[in-house]
C-alpha cells in the first residue's frame, strides 16, 4: 500500500428516502476543517437511486466535489450494494480519510467497508484532529514519528474512558462519527456541486438481502437532537399518561420531550426520543431530567448540555453528579407548578 497515493477527505453523505440526513452536513463541516489542515479537498459520496438532485445541497454545506453512485439496487439501504458502492469508490479514488455517521446505517456500512478495503475503523468518534503519531516522538526515533495523521477520539466503557486512536499504516483512515457532535457550516446559498458520476456495476448475489416490508415509526415530533430545550423523563415519571405534565412543561418553555432508555424499554415512548449511549446524543441549552436516575449510559448522551437541571426523589441518584442544579423532590408535585410559574413569568414580560 503506497500511503502517499491516498488524498482527500471523503464523507459518506447518508440519505434516507432521498432526503439527506443531518449527519452528512455535520461530517462535511468537520471534513472541510480537516481538509484545510491537510491542504486537500472534501468530497461527499452520495449513494442511492435518483439522488443526483441532492448534490447541490451538499455543495452548499461545503463539499468541493460530490461523487454520485446512482443505481436502482441502491434505492433502500442494504449492506451489500452500499458496501460495494463505497468500497469501489475508495478503491477507485483513494481517499486519505473516510468519515461515516455512527447511525444505524453507518455502524453497519462502516465495518463492512473497512474490512473489505482492509483498513482500520474507529467507532463513534466525538473529536477528530490532525496531528502526530505517536503524539510525542520516541527519543532516538524522531524520524519514525508520522505527521498529518487523523487522530480519532472516542468514549468507551459506557462513556467512562476516552481513547485517542490513529491508523498510521493503512489507508484510508476511517471513522464513524457520533451524530450531534460536529458542527455544520453556515450554508453557502446557491453553491453548485462539482459532480462526478461513478457506477461500479451491481450484480445481485446471495449477499443482497431482500427487503420484504418497511415500517416507518409514526412521529410528528421535533428531532430531539435539534431541540434547544429538552424536558426528559425517566422511569420515575411513573406511567405513559403522566408524561403529559412533562409535555406541558416543554410547551411552556418552547422545548420538546425526550426520555431515558427505561421509558422506551417499557413501551411508554418511541425510540427516536431516547437519549443516551444506545439512543441519541443531545446538547441542548437546557436539559431538565425528571425522574431519571442517570446511569452512565444515559449521561453519556446528555452531559454536554449547557445547563442541566435534575429533579429526583432519590437524593443519591447519580444524575445529581452531572446536574448543575439538582432538586431532591417529587416531580409530580414540582413539574405542574413549575409549568404554571414559567407561563406566569413569560406572561409578565
Partner 1 sequence: MKIIVCIKQVPDTKGGVKFNPDGTLDRGAMLAIMNPDDKAGLEAALRIKEQNGAEVTVITMGLPKAADVLREALAMGADKAVLVTDRVLGGADTWATSTTLAGAIRNLEYDLIITGRQAIDGDTAQVGPQIAEHLGLPVISYAEAIEVKESSVVVKRQYDDRYHMVEAKMPCLITALAELNDPRYMTPGGIFDACAAEITTWGRADLKDVDDANLGLKGSPTKIAKASDKVRKGAGEKVTPDSPEEAVSYIVGKLTEKHVI
Q: Which is nearer to partner 1, 62 or 294 (CB)?
A: 294
* Residues within window 59-78 making contact with partner 1, judged by CB under 8 A: 76-78
Question: Alpha-carbon distance 182 to 236, whole Å?
Answer: 32
Whose cell is 468507551? That residue is: 156
Question: Alpha-carbon distance 246 to 230, whole Å?
Answer: 10
C-alpha grid cell, residue 64: 468541493
- 162: contact with partner 1 by CB under 8 A: yes
User: What's the closest the beta carbon of residue 171 comes to partner 1, in angstroms?
Assistant: 10
Stretch that binds partner 1, among 2-10, 58-66, 231-239, 338-346 (CB under 8 A): 338-346
User: What is the total count of residues that contact partner 1 (CB under 8 A)?
Assistant: 94
CA distances from 318 to 246, 273, 282, 297, 310 (A): 21, 21, 19, 11, 10
Question: Alpha-carbon distance 229 to 233, whole Å?
Answer: 13
Rg over alpha carbons for the chain, rounded to the nearest Å, is: 22
Instruction: List the x/- string, 79-98, binding to partner 1 by CB under 8 A.
Output: xx--x---------------
Contact pick of 160, 201, 203, 220 for partner 1 (by CB under 8 A) = 160
Nearest to 151 by CA among 170, 119, 127, 118: 127
Contact pick of 52, 116, 184, 235 for partner 1 (by CB under 8 A) = 116
Q: Which is nearer to partner 1, 66 or 311 (CB)?
A: 311
> Could you tell me which residues come within 8 angstroms of residue 151 by beta carbon, excluding any fewer than 6 positions away?
128, 129, 130, 131, 133, 135, 164, 165, 166
- 209: contact with partner 1 by CB under 8 A: yes
- 167: contact with partner 1 by CB under 8 A: yes
- 24: contact with partner 1 by CB under 8 A: no
Task: Judge residue 349's burial from the number of C-beta atoms within 10 Å of its C-beta, 0-12 exposed, 13-18 middle, 19 or more buried.
Answer: exposed
User: What's the closest the beta carbon of residue 237 comes to partner 1, in angstroms?
Assistant: 16
Contact pick of 15, 43, 88, 119 for partner 1 (by CB under 8 A) = 119
Contact pick of 211, 230, 243, 256 for partner 1 (by CB under 8 A) = 211
Instruction: List the x/- string, 312-331, binding to partner 1 by CB under 8 A.
Output: ---x----xxxxxxxxxxx-
* Residues within window 266-295 making contact with partner 1, judged by CB under 8 A: 271-272, 277, 285-286, 295
Contact pick of 120, 235, 238, 251 for partner 1 (by CB under 8 A) = 120
Question: Alpha-carbon distance 123 to 322, whole Å?
Answer: 25
Amino acid at each position: 500500500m503506497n500511503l502517499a497515493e491516498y488524498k482527500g477527505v471523503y464523507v459518506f453523505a447518508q440519505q434516507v428516502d432521498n432526503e439527506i440526513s443531518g449527519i452528512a452536513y455535520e461530517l462535511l463541516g468537520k471534513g472541510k476543517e480537516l481538509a484545510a489542515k491537510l491542504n486537500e479537498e472534501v468530497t461527499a459520496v452520495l449513494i442511492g437511486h435518483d439522488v443526483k438532485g441532492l448534490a447541490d445541497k451538499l455543495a452548499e454545506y461545503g463539499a468541493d466535489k460530490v461523487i454520485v453512485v446512482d443505481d436502482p439496487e441502491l434505492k433502500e439501504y442494504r449492506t451489500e450494494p452500499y458496501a460495494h458502492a463505497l468500497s469501489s469508490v475508495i478503491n477507485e479514488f483513494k481517499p486519505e480519510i473516510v468519515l461515516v455517521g455512527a447511525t444505524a446505517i453507518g455502524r453497519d456500512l462502516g465495518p463492512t467497508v473497512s474490512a473489505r478495503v482492509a483498513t482500520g475503523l474507529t467507532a463513534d468518534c466525538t473529536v477528530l484532529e490532525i496531528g502526530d503519531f505517536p503524539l510525542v516522538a520516541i527519543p532516538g526515533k524522531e524520524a519514525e514519528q508520522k505527521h498529518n495523521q487523523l487522530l480519532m477520539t472516542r468514549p468507551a466503557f459506557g462513556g467512562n474512558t476516552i481513547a485517542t486512536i490513529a491508523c498510521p499504516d493503512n489507508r484510508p483512515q476511517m471513522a464513524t462519527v457520533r451524530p450531534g457532535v460536529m458542527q455544520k457550516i453556515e450554508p453557502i446559498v446557491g453553491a453548485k456541486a462539482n459532480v462526478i458520476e461513478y457506477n461500479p456495476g451491481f450484480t445481485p448475489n446471495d449477499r443482497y438481502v431482500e427487503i420484504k416490508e418497511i415500517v416507518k415509526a409514526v412521529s410528528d415530533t421535533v428531532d430531539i437532537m435539534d431541540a434547544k430545550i429538552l424536558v426528559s423523563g425517566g422511569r420515575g415519571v411513573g406511567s405513559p399518561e403522566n408524561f403529559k405534565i412533562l409535555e406541558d412543561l416543554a410547551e411552556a418553555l418552547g422545548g420538546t420531550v425526550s426520555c431515558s432508555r427505561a421509558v422506551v424499554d417499557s413501551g411508554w415512548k418511541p425510540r427516536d426520543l431516547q437519549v443516551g449511549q444506545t439512543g441519541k446524543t443531545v446538547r441542548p441549552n437546557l436539559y431538565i431530567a425528571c425522574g431519571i436516575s442517570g446511569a452512565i449510559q444515559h449521561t453519556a448522551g446528555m452531559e454536554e448540555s449547557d445547563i442541566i437541571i435534575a429533579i429526583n426523589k432519590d437524593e443519591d441518584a447519580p444524575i445529581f453528579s452531572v446536574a448543575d442544579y439538582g432538586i431532591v423532590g417529587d416531580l409530580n408535585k414540582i413539574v405542574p407548578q413549575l409549568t404554571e410559574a414559567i407561563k406566569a413569568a413569560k406572561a409578565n414580560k
